[in-house]
Structures are given as structure tokens and as C-alpha cells.
């Protein structure tokens, strides 16, 4: 690039002059950059809105399914009997008496210094299944390691137990079932599976000094106690799955009196579902409203300035709001959703009246639940049409804006090249001007010197 010679001859501030000319030249690029900034702001806002609408679509799709409003809650009259509810529950009631809690079998061997069998073989029998284990040696540590690695349904622990007559350290091996209840009951034998089958192996837990410290036991419940229909049921754990359809109970204490388990429609959960749908809609309406407001302010000179919101005048966004509002508020079989506590406000948002909804649900649960499902179905369809990642209206608008920004960025880059060339041209022009003026000044100085050197002739008159 040719450097400008700032006013050496002409006295002109050529750098400032060129900068001023370039500001004018760059005006189209400046406008393009402003348009890119505006479009980027709009893209960010549209992406935020699209995310909220997509979340609404997911929520509404879930709420539109029949199971979403088929909600029940289970309660117990006893703190030692707790309930857990899952899909498929229905209204009902039953009394239970807890007869026993599940226990995990624990047994300890007699005091040992080493495993008494050589080679160190033992067999674990759990619920009729035998597992032969061969430790690396008769070392009790090797026996514990082998048992714990075998996955036979029993774990082992070495516990210090004093010393024998010779002063050697003794230990007991404690064996614990991996699972509770009778299904986890086990026996430990010194010997191989074949020896166990032949009844020649020694039962470690029945030897002198050994013991089963906790016997395996199933939990048990009595249903319809004291009646001719009385029935006892058992579980290997303290949890009884599907005691009633979709209802499990967990017991923590034996009782002599009955605990009452009740299952009833969960109106609070259904109300929360409807309220959540309305809240999600209002979150979208609030976002659109906030981004559409025109703000008034003043500039540095005190003049009024109106600043439109990023969504101001955006017909696509306005259409999104209208479609969602229509989906949520349109009549259902000739009945307005406001009859169920879901209504439009004067400001164009939704309102949920919990008390009115609860009253309607109690009076006609079938109709109200169907209404919630219908509203959710329509909202899900509208929200999906707007936010679908391939065909959604907002998605298309975002894609269009991104394409526009890409195009403008390409034009801005082209302007960079053009403006750089223009600056070089101006600098070269003004540099050439200074050089020309310098040459002219030098020529002027030479001419002046030549004129000054011409001899002056004086004429004298004869007298």
C-alpha cells in the first residue's frame, strides 16, 4: 500500500481527508453490518422462543395421553406400611396385618485358624443350587476371597475370634446371604459338590461352635384377617409389588391390628397437570409480549426515540401466539374450557382457576379429564407445527434469517476488499499530488533563481 504524505507540500491533512471520504464510501457496508446485528438479535430471540414452544409440545403430548390424567394416589393408615403407586392403578381399598418381616440369613463358622479341608474345597447351596468353590489355599483370607468372587449368592467376612491353646490367632467366617427371604437361605459345606450329593460333606454351620445367627424368613401379610376369606401372602423382601393393581406396599414393623390401604383418584395431580399446561402457555405469551413492546426514550439531544422490540411487526411470531391461544381456548364439544376453570384473559393470556377446576373435576371427572386431554392434544399439534426441527414455522423463519445473515456477511467481506482498494487509490492519488506539487515548487524556485541571475543593464544619456 502506498503511504500518504500528509501535507508536506500542500499543507492538506490528507489522512483525515481520506478517512472522511472512506466513511462515506463505507456507508453501504455499515448499513449491512447493522442489518446483520439486528438479524442476529432476532435469530437469538426466535431460537429462545422455539425452544419454549418445543418444550410445550413435549409437555402437551404427554398430557394428551389417556394415562396422563388417569392418576391415583395411595395412602396408608399406618406409618409402618408405606405405599408406592405406578401405572395401572385404580380406586380401591384393602386391610392388611403384617405378620412377619423379611430377614436375610447370616451364619458363622466355629473358630478356625485355617480352612479345615485339604484341598480347601467348599460348596455353597442356595435354594437347591450348589456351587463348588476351590480357594487358592486353606488360608481363611483365600477362602473369603474365593467365596466373594464366586457369585454363589453368599458373601463371606473374616472376624477375629481370639487365639487357640497354642496361641495361634483364630477367626470365624461370617456368611451372609446376598438376598433376603427364604429364597436366599443357604448351607455351607466342607467338601465338593459330589461329597454334598453323597452326604459325606460336613455342614460348616451345624458344627460345634457354629451357628445360624439370623434365619432366612419371608415377610408375610394377612388379608381379610378374621374372616372366612383370610389369606396369607409372602414376599422375600419387605415390599409387596402389585398388592393392588399398580400399588406396592413396603412394611417396616409387625402389627396386630390392620392397616388400611386406600387408593383414590389424585385430583391434585390432575389439577397440577392442567395448571402446568396453562403456565407453559403463559410463559410463551409473556416472552412474545416482552419482545414485542416498543419502548420510548430520549437521545443525547433530548429528542424522543422509539425503540421497537425484536418481535415488533413479526407476523410469524404473531401467528404462533394466535395458534396456541386458539388451540387452548377453542370450545370442546360445544363447551368452553372456561367451564372447567381454563379461560382467556383480557390481555390475551390464559388463566387457570384451581377452585373451579377442582369443583368441575369432582362433579364430572370423566368429562373434565377428557377436556384436558383434548386441550393438550390441540396444543401439542399447534406447538409441534410451529417448532418441528424440519418443517416448523419458527424453524423456517430462523433458517431464513440465518441464510440472510450469511449472504450479508459475504457482501460485507466483499466490501472489505473494495474499500481497501479504494483507500489505496486515494492514498496514491494524494501522494502523487504532493509529489507533483513538490516538483512544481522546485521548478518555481529554479525559475526564480534564473530570473534573479539575469544582469541588469543601465543606459547613460550624452550631455
**293 and 371: one domain?**
yes
Query: What is the per-residue pLDDT for 252?
Result: 96
Predicted local distance difference test score (pLDDT) of residue 8: 57
Is residue 38 situated within a structural domain? yes
Do 205 and 243 reside in the same domain of the chain?
Answer: no
| Higher pLDDT pick, 417 / 338 | 338
Cell of 295: 419502548
Question: Do both 337 and 281 map to the same domain?
Answer: yes
What are the phi and psi torsion angles at 398 (to 5°)?
-60, -45
- Please list the alpha-helical segments (H only) found in 26-71: 27-63, 66-69
Cell of 219: 415377610
Who has greater pLDDT, 376 or 427? 376
The tens digit of pLDDT for each residue in 357-366 reads: 999 999 999 9
In a domain, 143, yes or no: yes
Which range of 9-13, 21-25, 258-262, 392-396 scores highest in mean pLDDT? It is 258-262
Average pLDDT over residues 386-409: 89
Asked whether the predicted pLDDT for residue 295 surpasses 90, the reply is no
In this prediction, residue 34 carries a pLDDT of: 82
Please say if the pLDDT value at position 2 is more than 50. no
Residues 380 and 328 occupy one common structural domain: yes
**Co-location of 153 and 168 in the same domain:** yes
Helix axes 354-363, 365-387, angle to 10 degrees: 130
* pTM exceeding 0.85: no
* Domain identity same for 94 and 110: no
How far is it, in rounded angstroms, from Cα 121 to Cα 196?
A: 11
The mean pLDDT value for 420-438 works out to: 79
- Same domain membership, residue 132 and residue 248: no
Domain end, chosen from 341, 374, 394, is at 394
Q: Which of 341, 359, 394 is the last residue of a domain?
A: 394
- Cβ atoms of 438 and 8 closer than 8 Å: yes
Average pLDDT over residues 210-217: 97
Q: Are residues 286 and 381 in the same domain?
A: yes
Same domain flag for 202 and 228: no
* Residue 233 within a domain: yes
Q: How much is the average pLDDT of 289-306?
A: 76
pLDDT attached to residue 461: 57
Among 192, 205, 189, 197, CA closest to 105: 205
Residues 160 and 184 in one domain: yes
Domain assignment present for 443: no
Predicted confidence (pLDDT) at residue 340 exceeds the cutoff of 80 = yes
Same domain, 338 and 374: yes
The pLDDT mean for the chain works out to 89
CA distance 431 to 14: 9
Q: Is the pLDDT of residue 367 over 60?
A: yes
Q: Is the dihedral of CA 204, 208, 213, 217 positive or negative?
A: positive
Q: Cβ distance 234 to 222 under 8 Å?
A: no
Domain boundary among 394, 410, 441: 394
Domain tally, the chain = 3
Mean pLDDT within 408-417: 84
Closest CA to 271 of 334, 359, 377, 338: 359
For residue 1, name the pLDDT band (cuts at 50, 70, 90). very low
At 7, is the pLDDT very low, low, confident or very high (cuts 50, 70, 90)? low
Q: Identify whether residues 253 and 186 lie together within a single domain.
A: no
Q: Is residue 255 part of a domain?
A: yes
At 154-179, the pLDDT tens digits run 999 999 999 888 888 999 999 999 99
Torsion, Cα of 134, 139, 145, 151 (10° steps): 30
Higher pLDDT, 452 or 251: 251
Q: What is the mean pLDDT of residues 341-345?
A: 93
224-257 residue pLDDT tens = 998 999 999 999 999 999 899 999 999 999 999 9
Q: Are 259 and 103 in contact (CB under 8 A)?
A: no
Domain assignment of residue 381, given as a range: 31-67+268-394
Integer Cα distance of 284 and 349 in angstroms? 9
Q: Is pLDDT at 92 greater than 80 in this prediction?
A: yes
Residue 260 within any structural domain of the chain: yes
pLDDT value, residue 5: 52
The reply to whether 22 falls in a domain is no
Q: What's the pLDDT score for residue 264?
A: 93
Closest residue by Cα to residue 412 from 148, 33, 6, 12 = 33
Contact criterion met (CB below 8 Å) for 261 and 76: yes
pLDDT for 415: 84
313 inside domain: yes
Amino acid at each position: 500500500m502506498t503511504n500518504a504524505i500528509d501535507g508536506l507540500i500542500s499543507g492538506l491533512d490528507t489522512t483525515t481527508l481520506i478517512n472522511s471520504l472512506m466513511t462515506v464510501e463505507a456507508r453501504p457496508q455499515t448499513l449491512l453490518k447493522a442489518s446483520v446485528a439486528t438479524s442476529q438479535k432476532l435469530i437469538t430471540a426466535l431460537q429462545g422462543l422455539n425452544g419454549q414452544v418445543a418444550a410445550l409440545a413435549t409437555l402437551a403430548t404427554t398430557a394428551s395421553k389417556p394415562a396422563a390424567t388417569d392418576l391415583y394416589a395411595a395412602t396408608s393408615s399406618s406409618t409402618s406400611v408405606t405405599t408406592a403407586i405406578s401405572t395401572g392403578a385404580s380406586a380401591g381399598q384393602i386391610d392388611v396385618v403384617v405378620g412377619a418381616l423379611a430377614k436375610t440369613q447370616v451364619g458363622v463358622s466355629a473358630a478356625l485358624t485355617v480352612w479345615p479341608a485339604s484341598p480347601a474345597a467348599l460348596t455353597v447351596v442356595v435354594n437347591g443350587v450348589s456351587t463348588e468353590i476351590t480357594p487358592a489355599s486353606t488360608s481363611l483370607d483365600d477362602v473369603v476371597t474365593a467365596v466373594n468372587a464366586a457369585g454363589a449368592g453368599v458373601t463371606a467376612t473374616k472376624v477375629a475370634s481370639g487365639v487357640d491353646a497354642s496361641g495361634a490367632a483364630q477367626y470365624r467366617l461370617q456368611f451372609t446371604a446376598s438376598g433376603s427371604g427364604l429364597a436366599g437361605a443357604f448351607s455351607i459345606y466342607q467338601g465338593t459338590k459330589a461329597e454334598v450329593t453323597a452326604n459325606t460333606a460336613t455342614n460348616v454351620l451345624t458344627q460345634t461352635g457354629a451357628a445360624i445367627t439370623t434365619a432366612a424368613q419371608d415377610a408375610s401379610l394377612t388379608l381379610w384377617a378374621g374372616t372366612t376369606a383370610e389369606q396369607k401372602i409372602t414376599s422375600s423382601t419387605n415390599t409387596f409389588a402389585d398388592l393392588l393393581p399398580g400399588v406396592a406396599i413396603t412394611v417396616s414393623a409387625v402389627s396386630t391390628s390392620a392397616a388400611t390401604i386406600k387408593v383414590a383418584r389424585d385430583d391434585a395431580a390432575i389439577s397440577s397437570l392442567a395448571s402446568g399446561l396453562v403456565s407453559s402457555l403463559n410463559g410463551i405469551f409473556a416472552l412474545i409480549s416482552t419482545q414485542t413492546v416498543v419502548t420510548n426514550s430520549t437521545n443525547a439531544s433530548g429528542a424522543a426515540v422509539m425503540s421497537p422490540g425484536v418481535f415488533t411487526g413479526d407476523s410469524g411470531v404473531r401467528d404462533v401466539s394466535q395458534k396456541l391461544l386458539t388451540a387452548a381456548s377453542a370450545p370442546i364439544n360445544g363447551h368452553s374450557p372456561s367451564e372447567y376453570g381454563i379461560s382467556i384473559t383480557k390481555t390475551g393470556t390464559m388463566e387457570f382457576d384451581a377452585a373451579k377446576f377442582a369443583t368441575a373435576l369432582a362433579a364430572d371427572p370423566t368429562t373434565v379429564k377428557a377436556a384436558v386431554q383434548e386441550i393438550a392434544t390441540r396444543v401439542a399439534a399447534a406447538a409441534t407445527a410451529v417448532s418441528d426441527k424440519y418443517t416448523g414455522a419458527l424453524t423456517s423463519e430462523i433458517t431464513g434469517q440465518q441464510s440472510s445473515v450469511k449472504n450479508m456477511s459475504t457482501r460485507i467481506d466483499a466490501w472489505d476488499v473494495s474499500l481497501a482498494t479504494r483507500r489505496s487509490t486515494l492514498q496514491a492519488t494524494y501522494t502523487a499530488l504532493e509529489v507533483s506539487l513538490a516538483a512544481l515548487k522546485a521548478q518555481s524556485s529554479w525559475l526564480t533563481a534564473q530570473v534573479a541571475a539575469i544582469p541588469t543593464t543601465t543606459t547613460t544619456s550624452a550631455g
